[in-house]
């Protein structure tokens, strides 16, 4: 006997919800005082009494779920994610912010700093510079690991302002990638080691990173060349080495691969009544983002229509004032997410999202393996 | 504010008044610029007055030192001046700059140079010699005064001198510390004040203060009779006796002088009767009567004995401010009569009583006056010392050495006297009977605003303990002069005040020309008036600086004439003319210490300032002084304000209006000026912010990183407030901010935000929000000892221990090194023997030294950095090494933050960004504040700040929130802000649609969210947290030490003890109070009850009183108890212990 899912059995009710309940289930109602019905109804039997099944079904999900990319540039993307629960969309957002790894400067070895910027502040500023490198090519460095070409990227910064020159602004393009690892000798055994053997440095690279195929024609550098690191007065100098390692945004925001990632639910603007003539014009004028348009109905009559509901920022101007709440309803579609990812530049935004999906997958798998 | 016309203008347009008050605002920056460093103008003016005029007067008044034995032997000061700040060391003179002084613990002082003419006597040969530029001492110089090297320098020059261009100056640098002489508030001198004393007796008092004497004269009314109370008399003297003693023998004349109105006569009658009862009718009788009442002094002056001490007292002590010329006591008699009349008026009508708290009756004593007193005292002392030494020299028989008086005047007494007084703040001037403490304070360098606020602070005349409400209450006359918000909370509340933004404090003005001017304007001289004429109707008394000049028959015209002269610049702009109709007096004041402020003059309600004036001002062809000179603006002091009708805005002016305010927000001071929309807040909130603004971290000055303060708090990324005020721009807070614009969501979150706590976003902190730098100074001295040995700093061993790691080869920690607690920062050694002489004090063997290395004590587990190391020599020429230790901190739970509306709170928890709510635009707040902070505090200003800030970031324009600024356009209106918000797609009320970061669903409320300027306050957990299990104990009592700095125990106090008693936890009390504190085992003798001792040889306890060890019991008691027993025994009280079980 073929296995049939219990859900497909005929006794499962397949009716439809009455319109007001359906509205509550699928829309957030944004009234002028407060949004209502913001939560999603999870319980499968929530509508059992009216004969409707509220359970989530995989086949249904697979059928309904779709992703539509609206805008994709080098650094940011906007896409619609339809047919998904807010908790899942939120999971992606959270993972993007906190758990997708990147490389960021973690250790700064300052050889000389005579600028006005204090060492700690300088190090902090360096840490926040996004580095354009695929973190997937690197390993995490744990506490007792030695830094090697697999887990560390080394940059050098050596700038000096001429004594009788103008003031100098040190920008991120001064950060030079040292593919062979650190150049600063380790102090410890500097006297004992014989001159023949290689001087030990702060890193233990076995080979140059340039020799690795991934970087051979793709040198590592900060994503932006014009981030101000410090300003130097005449005679001031900064000489340092910065070691970038792999990390996650939850440890420190510098490892977050996104400036921010967020979503908003699809706005839905509904005219509950016909809005005509002066009222229509008033309505069009009210909206700062031009959600409404005017339509000629003939005979000199005009009617307001909703033209660009997606642009609504929920300023609630259109429902401000007497009676307007009766004419216009602002809603959000609960399972349609306009997702925006602003990448810091380590990875393109679309890759970031797939990475996030992979991480969620991993987590699910881990749960499954832990449970079984 | 641009006039769009070219010069051939239509006259009507020019004639029309300025349309709105906005236009006049430009006067303010001009005013503050004119005063070069506007806010401390009063200090600078006062000091400049002293340096340029005051010191000359003092020297001139005491310009001759004459030997008492030989009147031809003299020294005369012909001139005095103050040089440029410099120091002379080893015969090399270097000019000083304030910054050098700050760094190397020197005093920023300039030589006081005098020209002298003196007699030199050599072998009975007398020669008169002259010397120029003799240095008699060094005067500490107020920064930015006319003697300072910074005077008149522009920004680039100031930068070259290491000085911050925004620094206000007005303070002194004494021994490397910056000292402010606080403005002292006092009751006016030489003015009649009618008041009641403790017993309810009416009295009229005058505090006389002249160059020669200071006295307080009180005329009081007791049981209907009038008496004089003077310190020089042992008892109260009937006033009629005094009058008779001054030659006013006719009672009728006295009555006429007081006023012929029978109501005055009736009140005077009992006094006349009393006088007659004593049988005193003539001057002689009166003087004899007084002679008995004069306080006897131990020493007697033969000159006085002849004339009688009573006469002398009447002449020199009694209302000393009224001069007696050629034994003419008549002015004094009239003065007394006026005092009596005023008192009687007050008796008949309580409203005529003077209010001591009225600002017009107060004078502010500024640094110039105080230093001048100090200098006068020291100068006189020096002169008398010189005279003494010369007398000694002249008395000597041996005349082989030339006697040169000039040699005795060059002394350090003035230098040290000035330096000591300013650095300790104690003004102990026996000569002037002045013993005041705490006159100076170390300039607060916590933040830029703290510095400014400190300069405008006024310290009270009363001691703080007085539990009276009167002086603490807000006086209506403070309007525009003293800030209504800026006062501390607690005991000094209302007593310590601050100057408002536009206040100016006057300095003394020359009296002579003014007096003769008054006479030529028709004042009838007092001398020429009969007693009857003094109070004739329609004539007003003219009182000049507390002195009755005479009367005038047309007081209004007289006052107007004087004012006209003042407006045209013929007399000083700070001379005040005030017609008091009730007292029928015209008061003219030119004395120093009055508070005044500039106002726009209006004729019949039409402002004198027209558009073209403002245009000229904008174009830079006209300055504030031109406005003054042309009579468009004038200064009014508090008294004269009573004769003016001042309109707040030009539109509100009526035909009677005489003046128009320049800007209403100038009634606030510097600190209150930082608050946006303060007029929307509950008033105590503004007061709280005034206190907190001074604790906020931020930038201190442009030279903050070159300074060596003992403690310095800096913010790593300070910002300028998004919602600014005009005051902020005027004082430069936008350049040296102390806070950051945080995006705040007003909502409840996580429960860690109750009781004003705030929830912070971890990512914001990661990105640098609230990060601060704490710099502490450590210093070490390479001491030299009397036996010529000295400390030495030695290089560390080759193989360094961990603690020595940060030392350089010279044995001193290297700058830039990371320093941890217990690290050695200076590897110093001290000779073991510092008393006995050695043959070669420098070549001692190593064994003669012991190590006195200094280790860093900081919070455990935190690392700091050695920021800078400075070497300098201190006053004893020892090498002094200063270390600046820098610690960068990110906010942690428990750190204190505050907005600019008196809403402080600690960080309750720090939460990951992904858990934080976010808006539809992806905005994630930096911190979350609980909405319960609003209803009870009623800080509407904060809400408007949020709205304004939000509108500001969305439209890219800084919004303004100056106090009372809506009508004049210095504050954006909420309607306009809302419109801006709507235009940028936000809700007009600032509430956003927010998604929860945890569930991902929208929140069920719109959240009020936007940027608010947040200050990080200096109170940080790291400096406060403290716990201990076991630790050090006090030697004496063996109880745990007290206080965090000594790693002290946590006290279980009386109230906690009471709780345990009530609960019945006796064992717990026993443990806490004895076992955990100071348990001690004692041997108690059961026979005598006294404590014995334990003999370790015999291994028994022995009672030293009974000399036996037979009846000894061991017991435990607190060591403090044992100590008490012994102390009692030492005082012959015998405490005996009776043991119930042993």
Q: What is the pLDDT of residues A11-63, one digit of tens each?
A: 555 677 888 888 988 899 999 899 999 988 888 888 888 888 888 888 888 99
Range list for CATH 3.90.1800.10 in chain B: 1078-1142
State whether A211 and A296 are in the same domain: no
State whether A301 and A328 are in the same domain: yes
pLDDT given at position B1041? 93
Of A40, A314, A318, which to mutate for an interface test with B (greatest number of B Cβ within 10 Å)? A314
B912–A314 C-beta distance less than 8 A: no
Tell me the nearest-neighbour CA distance from A339 into chain B, angstroms.
10
Per the CB < 8 A criterion, the answer to whether B931 and B748 are in contact is yes
A260–B1001 C-beta distance less than 8 A: no
* Helix B262-277 vs helix B330-348: crossing angle, to nearest 10: 120
Q: What is the pLDDT of residues B848-867, one digit of tens each?
A: 888 888 999 888 888 999 99
Candidates B705, B922, B984; nearest CB to A260? B922
Q: What is the pLDDT of residues B862-901, one digit of tens each?
A: 899 999 999 988 777 888 899 999 999 999 999 999 999 9
State whether A146 and A226 are in the same domain: yes
Candidates A89, A116, A289; nearest CB to B705? A116
B768–A124 C-beta distance less than 8 A: yes
State whether A248 and A274 are in the same domain: no
State whether A349 and A206 are in the same domain: no
- Which of residues A204, A239, A255 is at a domain's end? A255
Shortest CA distance from B768: residue in chain A: A124
Chain B touched by A270 (CB under 8 Å): no
pLDDT given at position B13? 47
Check whether B267 has a pLDDT greater than 90: no
Per-residue buried b or exposed e for B484-502, using 16+ beta carbons within 10 Å of the residue's own CB? bbbbbeeeeebbbbbbbbb
φ, ψ of residue B375 to 5 degrees: the values are -65, -40
Candidates B773, B998, B1002; nearest CB to A118? B773
Tell me the nearest-neighbour CA distance from B982 into chain A, angstroms.
7
Terminal-residue alpha carbon distance, chain A: 27
Write out chain B residues lying below 8 Å of A121, CB-based. Answer: 716, 771, 773, 888
The residues of B assigned a catalytic role are: 756
Per the CB < 8 A criterion, the answer to whether B776 and B889 are in contact is no
Q: What is the pLDDT of residues A257-309, one digit of tens each?
A: 999 999 999 999 999 988 888 888 888 888 899 899 888 888 888 888 898 88
Candidates A28, A94, A253; nearest CB to B767? A253
State whether A115 and A230 are in the same domain: yes
93-152 in chain A: CB under 8 A from chain B:
93-94, 97-98, 110, 113, 116, 118-121, 124, 128
Please report, for residues A309, A349, B917, B993, the alpha-carbon distance to residue B922 in angstroms, rounded to integers and kept in the order given.
19, 16, 9, 11
Reported confidence tier of residue A79, pLDDT bands at 50, 70, 90: very high
334-353 in chain A: CB under 8 A from chain B:
340, 342
Q: What is the pLDDT of residues B781-797, one digit of tens each?
A: 988 888 888 888 888 88
Domain holding A366, by residue range, is 25-48+61-100+257-372
Question: Of B937, B900, B889, B891, which Cα lies nearest the Cα of B756?
Answer: B937
Q: What is the pLDDT of residues B932-941, one digit of tens each?
A: 999 999 999 9
Range list for CATH 3.90.1070.20 in chain B: 11-21+503-636
- Which of residues A232, A255, A278 is at a domain's end? A255
Write out chain A residues lying below 8 Å of B705, CB-based. Answer: 116
Please report, for residues B72, B132, B285, the alpha-carbon distance to residue B390 in angstroms, rounded to integers and kept in the order given.
13, 21, 46
Q: What is the pLDDT of residues B1090-1102, one digit of tens each?
A: 998 898 888 888 8
Per the CB < 8 A criterion, the answer to whether B235 and B218 are in contact is no
Span B772-889 CATH architecture: Beta Barrel (2.40)
Mean pLDDT of all residues in B1103-1122: 89
Per the CB < 8 A criterion, the answer to whether A339 and A89 are in contact is yes
Query: CA B791, B797, B801, B802: dihedral to nearest 10 degrees?
Result: 70
Query: CA B232, B233, B239, B240: dihedral to nearest 10 degrees?
Result: -110
Mean pLDDT of all residues in B81-101: 85
Tell me the nearest-neighbour CA distance from B998 into chain A, angstroms.
8
State whether A112 and A215 are in the same domain: yes
Structural domain contains residue A2 = no
Shortest CA distance from A332: residue in chain B: B1002
Write out chain A residues lying below 8 Å of B995, CB-based. Answer: 90, 262-264
A313–B921 C-beta distance less than 8 A: yes
Reported confidence tier of residue B466, pLDDT bands at 50, 70, 90: low
Specify the range with the lowest mean pLDDT, choosing from B409-413, B489-493, B685-689.
B409-413
Candidates A39, A253, A254; nearest CB to B1001? A39
pLDDT given at position B14? 47
Reported confidence tier of residue A336, pLDDT bands at 50, 70, 90: very high
Percent of chain B at pLDDT > 70 equals 94
Candidates A28, A30, A313; nearest CB to B985? A313
Mean pLDDT of all residues in B635-651: 89
A253–B987 C-beta distance less than 8 A: no
pLDDT given at position A158? 93
Chain B touched by A264 (CB under 8 Å): yes
Candidates A35, A89, A253; nearest CB to B993? A35
Per the CB < 8 A criterion, the answer to whether A174 and A157 are in contact is yes
B986–A36 C-beta distance less than 8 A: no
Give CA–CA dist B836/B848, Å, rounded.
12
pLDDT given at position B17? 47
Of A106, A112, A118, A344, which to mutate for an interface test with B (greatest number of B Cβ within 10 Å)? A118
Check whether B926 has a pLDDT greater than 70: yes
Q: Kindly report the CATH number that applies to the domain delimited by B672-704+716-771+893-1016.
A: 2.40.270.10
Reported confidence tier of residue B18, pLDDT bands at 50, 70, 90: very low
Structural domain contains residue A192 = yes
A40–B1001 C-beta distance less than 8 A: yes
pLDDT given at position A6? 58
Range list for CATH 2.40.270.10 in chain B: 672-704+716-771+893-1016
CATH of residue A72: 3.30.1360.10
B816–A253 C-beta distance less than 8 A: no
pLDDT given at position B7? 45
pLDDT given at position B858? 85
Tell me the nearest-neighbour CA distance from B913 into chain A, angstroms.
8
Tell me the nearest-neighbour CA distance from B855 into chain A, angstroms.
22
Where does A1-65 have alpha helices with state H?
A: 19-26, 58-64
B1004–A34 C-beta distance less than 8 A: yes
Beta B183-187 vs B457-459: how paired, if at all?
parallel
Q: Which CATH number fits domain B192-320: 3.40.50.920, 3.90.1110.10, 3.40.1080.20, 3.30.450.20?
A: 3.90.1110.10
Range list for CATH 3.90.1110.10 in chain B: 192-320
Per the CB < 8 A criterion, the answer to whether B129 and B118 are in contact is yes
Q: Does domain B11-21+503-636 have CATH number 3.40.50.1100?
A: no
CATH of residue A201: 2.170.120.12
Of B701, B715, B718, B766, which to mutate for an interface test with A (greatest number of A Cβ within 10 Å)? B766
State whether A35 and A133 are in the same domain: no
Provide the 3-class DSSP secondary structure of residue B660: strand
3-state helix vs strand vs coil in chain B, percent to 5: 30, 25, 40
Q: What is the pLDDT of residues B104-141, one digit of tens each?
A: 888 899 998 888 888 877 766 777 888 888 888 889 99
Provide the 3-class DSSP secondary structure of residue B1105: coil
pLDDT given at position A7? 57
pLDDT given at position A71? 93
State whether A117 and A247 are in the same domain: yes
Interface pTM (ipTM) of the complex?
Answer: 0.92
B768–A34 C-beta distance less than 8 A: no
pLDDT given at position B22? 43
Tell me the nearest-neighbour CA distance from B33 into chain A, angstroms.
30
Give CA–CA dist B533/B30, Å, rounded.
49
Helix (H) or strand (E) holding B408, with range, is helix B406-409
Q: What is the pLDDT of residues B740-763, one digit of tens each?
A: 999 999 999 999 999 999 999 999
Shortest CA distance from B986: residue in chain A: A315
Chain B touched by A29 (CB under 8 Å): no
Reported confidence tier of residue B580, pLDDT bands at 50, 70, 90: confident
Domain count, chain A: 2
Per the CB < 8 A criterion, the answer to whether B881 and B780 are in contact is yes
Q: What is the pLDDT of residues B283-332, one digit of tens each?
A: 888 888 888 888 766 555 555 555 677 787 888 888 888 888 888 888 88
Specify the range with the lowest mean pLDDT, choosing from A223-232, A244-253, B159-168, B286-295.
B286-295
Half-sphere exposure (CA, 13 Å, Cβ side) for A292? 29
Per the CB < 8 A criterion, the answer to whether B360 and B640 are in contact is no
Mean pLDDT of all residues in B1026-1032: 90
Write out chain A residues lying below 8 Å of B763, CB-based. Answer: 97, 249, 253, 256
- Which of residues A227, A255, A283 is at a domain's end? A255
Reported confidence tier of residue B1, pLDDT bands at 50, 70, 90: very low
State whether A112 and A219 are in the same domain: yes
Shortest CA distance from A86: residue in chain B: B1000
State whether A178 and A90 are in the same domain: no
Percent of chain A at pLDDT > 70 equals 93
Per the CB < 8 A criterion, the answer to whether B86 and B95 are in contact is yes
State whether A170 and A43 are in the same domain: no
Query: CA B1086, B1088, B1092, B1096: dihedral to nearest 10 degrees?
Result: -60
Range list for CATH 2.40.50.150 in chain B: 772-889
Chain B touched by A167 (CB under 8 Å): no
B886–A34 C-beta distance less than 8 A: no
Higher pLDDT, A5 or B484: B484
Q: Which CATH number fits domain B1078-1142: 3.40.640.10, 2.40.128.630, 3.40.50.300, 3.90.1800.10?
A: 3.90.1800.10
């Amino acid at each position: 006997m073929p296995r049939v899912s219990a859900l497909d059995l005929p006794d499962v009710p397949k009716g439809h919800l009455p319109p007001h309940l359906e509205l509550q289930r699928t829309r957030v109602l944004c009234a002028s005082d407060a949004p209502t019905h913001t939560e999603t109804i999870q319980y499968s039997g929530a509508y059992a009494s009216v004969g409707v099944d509220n359970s989530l079904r995989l086949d249904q999900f697979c059928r309904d779920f779709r992703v539509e990319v609206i805008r994709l540039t080098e650094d940011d993307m906007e896409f619609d994610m339809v047919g998904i629960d807010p908790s899942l969309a939120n999971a992606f957002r959270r993972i993007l912010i906190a758990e997708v790894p990147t490389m960021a400067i973690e250790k700064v070895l300052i050889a000389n700093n005579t600028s006005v910027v204090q060492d700690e502040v300088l190090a902090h500023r360096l840490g926040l510079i996004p580095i354009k490198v695929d973190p997937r090519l690197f390993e995490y460095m744990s506490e007792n690991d030695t830094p090697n070409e697999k887990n560390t990227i080394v940059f050098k910064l050596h700038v000096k302002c001429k004594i009788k020159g103008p003031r100098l602004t040190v920008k991120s393009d001064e950060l030079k990638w040292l593919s062979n690892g650190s150049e600063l000798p380790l102090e410890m055994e500097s006297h004992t080691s014989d001159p023949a053997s290689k001087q030990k440095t702060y890193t233990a690279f076995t080979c140059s990173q340039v020799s690795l195929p991934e970087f051979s024609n793709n040198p590592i550098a900060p994503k932006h060349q014009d981030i101000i690191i410090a300003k130097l007065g005449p005679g001031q100098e900064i000489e340092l080495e910065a070691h970038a390692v792999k990390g996650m945004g939850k440890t420190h925001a510098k490892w977050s691969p996104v400036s921010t990632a967020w979503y908003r639910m699809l706005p839905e603007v509904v005219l509950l009544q016909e809005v005509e003539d002066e009222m229509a014009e008033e309505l069009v004028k009210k909206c700062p983002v031009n959600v409404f348009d005017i339509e000629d109905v003939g005979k000199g009559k005009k009617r307001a229509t909703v033209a660009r509901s997606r642009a609504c920022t929920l300023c609630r101007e259109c429902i401000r004032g007497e009676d307007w709440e009766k004419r216009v309803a602002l809603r959000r579609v609960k399972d349609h997410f306009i997702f925006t990812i602003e990448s810091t530049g380590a990875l393109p935004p679309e890759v970031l999202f797939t990475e996030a999906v992979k991480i969620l997958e991993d987590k699910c798998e881990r749960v499954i393996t832990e449970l079984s | 504010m641009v006039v769009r016309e070219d010069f051939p203008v239509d006259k009507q347009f020019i004639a029309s008044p300025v349309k709105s008050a906005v236009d006049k605002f430009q006067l303010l920056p001009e005013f503050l610029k004119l005063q070069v460093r506007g806010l401390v103008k009063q200090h600078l003016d006062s000091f400049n007055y002293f340096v340029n005029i005051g010191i000359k007067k003092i020297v001139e008044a005491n310009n001759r030192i004459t030997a008492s034995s030989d009147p031809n032997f003299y020294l005369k000061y012909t001139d005095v001046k103050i040089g440029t700040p410099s120091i002379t060391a080893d015969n090399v003179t270097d000019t000083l700059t304030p910054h050098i002084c700050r760094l190397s613990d020197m005093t920023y002082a300039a030589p006081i140079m005098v020209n002298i003419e003196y007699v030199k006597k050599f072998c009975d040969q007398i020669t008169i010699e002259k010397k120029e530029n003799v240095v008699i001492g060094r005067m500490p110089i107020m920064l930015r005064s006319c003697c300072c090297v910074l005077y008149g320098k522009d920004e680039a020059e100031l930068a070259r001198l290491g000085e911050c261009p925004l620094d206000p100056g007005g303070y002194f640098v004494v021994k490397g510390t910056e000292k402010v002489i606080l403005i002292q508030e006092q009751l006016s001198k030489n003015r009649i004040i009618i008041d009641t004393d403790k017993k309810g007796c009416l009295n009229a008092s005058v505090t006389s203060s002249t160059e020669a004497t200071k006295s307080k004269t009180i005329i009081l009314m007791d049981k209907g009779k009038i008496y004089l109370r003077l310190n020089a008399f042992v008892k109260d003297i009937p006033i009629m006796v005094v009058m008779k003693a001054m030659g006013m023998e006719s009672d009728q004349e006295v009555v006429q002088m007081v006023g012929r109105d029978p109501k005055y006569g009736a009140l005077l009658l009992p006094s006349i009767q009393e006088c007659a009862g004593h049988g005193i009718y003539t001057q002689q009788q009166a003087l004899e009567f007084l002679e008995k009442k004069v306080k006897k002094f131990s020493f007697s002056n033969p000159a006085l004995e002849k004339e009688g001490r009573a006469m002398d007292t009447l002449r020199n002590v009694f209302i000393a401010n009224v001069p007696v010329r050629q034994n003419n006591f008549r002015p004094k008699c009239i003065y007394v009569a006026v005092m009596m009349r005023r008192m009687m008026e007050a008796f008949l009508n309580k409203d005529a009583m003077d209010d001591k708290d009225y600002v017009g009756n107060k004078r502010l004593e500024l640094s110039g006056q105080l230093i001048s007193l100090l200098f006068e005292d020291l100068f006189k002392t020096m002169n008398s010392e010189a005279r003494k030494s010369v007398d000694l020299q002249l008395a000597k028989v041996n005349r082989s050495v030339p006697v040169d008086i000039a040699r005795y005047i060059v002394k350090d007494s003035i230098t040290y006297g000035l330096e000591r007084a300013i650095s300790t703040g104690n003004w102990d001037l026996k000569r002037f009977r002045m013993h005041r403490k705490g006159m100076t304070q170390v300039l607060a360098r916590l933040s830029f605003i703290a510095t400014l606020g400190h300069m405008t602070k006024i310290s009270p005349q009363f001691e703080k303990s007085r539990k009276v409400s009167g002086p603490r209450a807000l006086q209506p006359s403070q309007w525009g002069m003293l800030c209504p918000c800026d006062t501390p909370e607690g005991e000094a509340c209302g007593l310590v005040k601050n100057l408002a933004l536009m206040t100016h404090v006057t300095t003394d003005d020359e009296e002579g020309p003014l007096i003769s001017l008054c006479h030529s304007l028709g004042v009838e001289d007092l001398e020429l008036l009969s007693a009857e004429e003094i109070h004739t109707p329609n004539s007003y008394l003219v009182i000049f600086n507390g002195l009755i000049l005479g009367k005038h028959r047309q007081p209004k015209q007289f006052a107007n004439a004087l004012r006209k002269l003042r407006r045209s610049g013929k007399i000083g702009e700070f001379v005040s003319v005030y017609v008091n109709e009730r007292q029928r007096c015209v008061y003219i004041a030119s004395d120093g210490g009055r508070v005044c402020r500039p106002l726009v003059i209006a004729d019949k309600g039409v402002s004198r300032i027209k558009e073209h004036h403002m245009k000229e001002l904008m174009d830079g062809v006209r300055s504030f002084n031109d406005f003054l000179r042309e009579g468009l603006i004038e200064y009014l002091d508090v008294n004269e304000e009573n004769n003016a009708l001042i309109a707040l805005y030009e539109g509100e002016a009526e035909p009677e209006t005489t003046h128009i305010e320049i800007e209403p927000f100038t009634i606030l001071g510097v600190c209150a000026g930082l608050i946006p929309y303060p007029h929307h807040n509950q008033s105590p909130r503004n007061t709280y912010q005034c206190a907190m603004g001074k604790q906020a971290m931020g930038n201190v000055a442009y030279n903050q990183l070159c300074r060596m303060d003992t403690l310095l708090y800096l913010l790593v990324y300070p910002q300028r407030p998004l919602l600014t005020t005009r005051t902020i721009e005027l004082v430069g807070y936008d350049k040296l901010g102390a806070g950051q614009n945080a995006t705040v969501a007003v909502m409840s979150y996580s429960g860690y935000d109750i009781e004003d706590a705030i929830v912070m976003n971890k990512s914001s902190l990661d990105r640098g929000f609230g990060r601060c730098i704490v710099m502490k100074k450590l210093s070490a001295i390479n001491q030299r000892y009397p036996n010529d040995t000295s400390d030495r700093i030695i290089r560390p061993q080759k193989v360094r221990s961990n603690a020595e790691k940060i030392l350089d080869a010279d044995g001193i920690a290297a700058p830039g090194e990371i320093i941890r607690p217990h690290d050695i920062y200076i590897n110093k050694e001290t000779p073991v023997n510092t008393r006995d002489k050695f043959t070669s004090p420098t070549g001692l063997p190593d064994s003669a030294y012991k190590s006195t290395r200094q280790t860093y004590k900081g919070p455990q587990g935190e690392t700091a950095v050695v920021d800078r190391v400075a070497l300098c020599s201190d006053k004893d020429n020892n090498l002094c090494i200063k270390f600046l230790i820098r610690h960068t901190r990110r906010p942690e739970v428990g750190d204190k933050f505050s907005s600019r509306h008196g809403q402080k709170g600690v960080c309750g928890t720090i939460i990951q960004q992904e858990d934080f709510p976010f808006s539809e635009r992806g905005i994630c707040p930096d911190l979350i504040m609980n909405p319960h902070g609003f209803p009870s505090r009623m800080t509407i200003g904060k809400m408007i700040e949020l709205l304004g800030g939000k509108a500001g970031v969305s439209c890219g324009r800084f919004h303004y929130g100056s106090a009372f600024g809506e009508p004049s356009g210095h504050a954006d209106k909420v309607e306009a802000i809302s419109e801006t918000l709507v235009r940028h797609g936000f809700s007009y009320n600032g509430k956003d649609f927010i998604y929860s970061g945890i569930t991902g669903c929208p929140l069920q409320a719109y959240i009020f969210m936007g940027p608010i300027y947040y200050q990080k306050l200096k109170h940080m957990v790291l400096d406060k947290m403290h716990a201990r299990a076991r630790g050090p104990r006090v030697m004496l009592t063996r109880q745990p030490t007290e206080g965090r700095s000594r790693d002290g125990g946590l006290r279980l106090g009386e109230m906690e003890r009471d709780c345990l008693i009530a609960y019945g936890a006796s064992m717990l009390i026993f443990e806490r109070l004895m076992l955990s504190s100071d348990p001690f085992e004692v041997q108690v003798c059961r026979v005598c009850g006294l404590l014995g001792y334990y003999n370790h040889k015999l291994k028994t306890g022995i009672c030293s009183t009974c000399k036996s060890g037979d009846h000894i019991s061991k017991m435990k008691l607190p060591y403090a108890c044992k100590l008490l027993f012994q102390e009692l025994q030492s005082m012959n009280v015998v405490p005996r212990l009776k043991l119930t079980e042993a």
